[in-house]
Structure 1
């Protein structure tokens, strides 16, 4: 999905008009319309960041580079997590582990992602 499609989808998901979004972003309604039609693209990186923060999605998701909405950066401030397993322990970089997981899951169909999520919940409940 491309930036114009994502922008429109995100705006419509929260029942926001182009005019309301334009006011928040301090741009014209016509600019929002042009972005959604794909006839123009924001040339200010700060504006792209502001849009992604407003909708609580990653810039990669907004630009269509991934189907993962959030980067989960706020949960990844811990550099390493200590893992205790079978009388041994090691440290795992949580951010790298989740990025690898997201990379593997990103191209799966929604059906497989839902099945994988159910499996993870079952596994989590067993712990």
Structure 2
């Protein structure tokens, strides 16, 4: 299973997201078309600091994102409390026991909301059935006790 994305893939993805050709990107960033093409296709091509900064600014992403050091396009401004992520989830994400990249892809998929809604219906349905079972048991015990007295 693929664990990450390369810098070359990241650069190409960002350009394609904006429906830009290399020529257009070169004109907008003042970085040569040949350099941009090399950045996207040549794993061994060194990218200058100036180009990294210019491309990150152009795409509106952090340099860490551009260099694949993070999957967050921008520095996270939201605290964990705002995100309602508890300590157990933070530890799970940090542990490396799950594929965080895959989890992010699943959570940002266009049908994820439907999946979560279905899961909520299922889980709440199970909980409702259990409460109904408990209430039925209590009712039966209550009836037995009332018969005795």
User: Do the structures match in fold with TM over 0.5?
Assistant: yes
Structure 2 unaligned spans of 5+: 95-99, 117-149
Q: CA–CA distance in 2 between the matches of 1:97 and 1:21?
A: 39
Q: CA–CA distance in 1 between the matches of 2:67 and 2:106?
A: 23
Q: Equivalent of 2:58, from 54, 57, 64?
A: 54
Aligned pair 1:10/2:5, yes or no? no
TM-score, normalized by length of structure 2?
0.50
User: Which residue of 1 is the match for residue 141 of structure 2?
Assistant: none
Higher Rg: 2
Q: CA–CA distance in 1 between the matches of 2:33 and 2:70?
A: 27
Is this contact kept in 1: 2:62–2:73, CA < 8 A? yes
**Number of residues paired by the alignment?**
92
Higher relative helix content? 2
> Structure 2 vs 1, CA of residues 95 and 28 (structure 1 numbering), >3 Å: closer, same or farther?
same
Higher relative strand content? 1
Aligned pair 1:111/2:135, yes or no? no
Q: CA deviation at 1:2?
A: 1.3
TM-score, normalized by length of structure 1?
0.58
Structure 1 unaligned spans of 5+: 77-93, 119-127
> Structure 2 vs 1, CA of residues 95 and 52 (structure 1 numbering), >3 Å: closer, same or farther?
farther
**Where does 1:42-121 land on structure 2 (aligned, <5 Å)?**
42-43=47-48, 45-72=49-76, 104=90, 107=100, 109=103, 110-112=105-107
Structure 1 stretches (4+) deviating beyond 4 angstroms? 94-98, 112-115
Q: CA deviation at 1:27?
A: 2.2
